[in-house]
């Protein structure tokens, strides 16, 4: 049996022959992050990956190695996270998809939702084949405590200038070195390993919206990849502008500083939701039969 985190299990003996995995199973999952210590497995901690892996190992009766589209921190939720694992065609062909779905729903905790099952070609990776990832951060402003948004929004006892925040956010779109918006220890490790802190953001939108009868400020960010705490630091920085503590032009100076100390605070985790992932058309095929 391979160690956790080792190369994916790709070979097994079938009728005396060594056979490679020849397909990929992809799960679309959602989860409420409040009671998880993040996505990635950690010893003696309740994690999303640990819960999903245990369910899949019970279902397939063998070790599995998971790859996800993007790791999330403790307290962060997800609507559409994708997880892939190498499988053999016969493991899928001999099963009825609806029963697999029901089994996984029964085997995972109530704060994890199995939202879709897909088949992909051999070698597909939920992480490396992703074209972009999309996050939304929600803020409830004012003195009234949010009701239904309480579990997925940051309650901020202040009003925000959304137009100023939107103006400030424009400089973040495009390819930049986002070191100022990365957790210090993570940025240091990337640099020591010779990896870049540059990322491409396709969109940063700040707007007001009403959800289930409550007015919220939503900050939606889509990019090819993200650094550790990147979205939450961006939100904390934009909130400084929205509260009138800094001018909109300050955010560009933060970006150019390439120094975490130049940016605003890290916004609380519970307001962040991993919204969706984009793949090439046809990369995922719904597993319905």
**81, 31 in Cβ contact below 8 A?**
yes
Q: Which of 44, 65, 73, 151 is catalytic?
A: 73
CA distance 38 to 76: 7
CA distance 268 to 146: 15
DSSP β-ladder status, 67-68 and 77-87: antiparallel
C-alpha pair distances (Å), 24 with each of 154, 197, 270:
37, 30, 32
Q: Is residue 275 classed as helix, strand or coil in its secondary structure?
A: strand
CA distance 148 to 56: 32
* Residue 73 falls in the annotated catalytic set: yes
> 257: closest CA among 172, 173, 180?
180
**179, 262 in Cβ contact below 8 A?**
no
**Residue 275 φ/ψ, nearest 5 degrees:** -85, -45
- Which residues are the active-site residues? 73
């Amino acid at each position: 049996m391979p160690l956790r985190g080792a190369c994916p299990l790709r070979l097994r003996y079938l009728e005396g022959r060594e056979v490679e995995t020849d397909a990929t199973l992809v799960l679309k999952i959602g989860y409420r992050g409040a009671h998880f210590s993040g996505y990635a497995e950690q010893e003696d901690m309740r994690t999303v990956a640990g819960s999903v892996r245990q369910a899949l190992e019970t279902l397939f009766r063998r070790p599995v190695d998971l790859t996800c589209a993007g790791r999330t921190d403790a307290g962060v939720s997800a609507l559409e996270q994708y997880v892939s694992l190498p499988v053999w065609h016969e493991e899928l062909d001999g099963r009825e998809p609806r029963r697999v779905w029901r089994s996984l729903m029964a085997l995972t905790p109530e704060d994890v939702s199995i939202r879709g099952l897909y088949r992909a070609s051999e070698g597909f990776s939920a992480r490396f084949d992703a074209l972009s990832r999309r996050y939304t951060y929600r803020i409830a402003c004012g003195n009234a405590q949010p009701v239904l948004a309480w579990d997925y929004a940051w309650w901020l006892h202040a009003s925000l200038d959304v137009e100023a925040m939107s103006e400030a956010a424009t400089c973040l779109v495009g390819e930049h070195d986002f070191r100022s918006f990365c957790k210090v220890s993570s940025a240091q490790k990337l640099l020591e390993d010779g990896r870049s802190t540059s990322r491409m953001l396709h969109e940063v939108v700040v707007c007001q919206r009403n959800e289930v009868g409550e007015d919220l400020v939503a900050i939606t960010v889509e990019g090819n990849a993200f650094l550790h705490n990147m979205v939450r630091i961006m939100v904390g920085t934009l909130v400084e502008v929205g509260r009138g503590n800094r001018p909109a032009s300050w955010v560009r100076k933060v970006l150019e500083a390439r120094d975490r100390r130049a940016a605003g605070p890290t916004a609380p985790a519970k307001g962040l939701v991993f919204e969706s992932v984009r793949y090439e058309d046809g990369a995922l095929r719904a597993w319905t039969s």
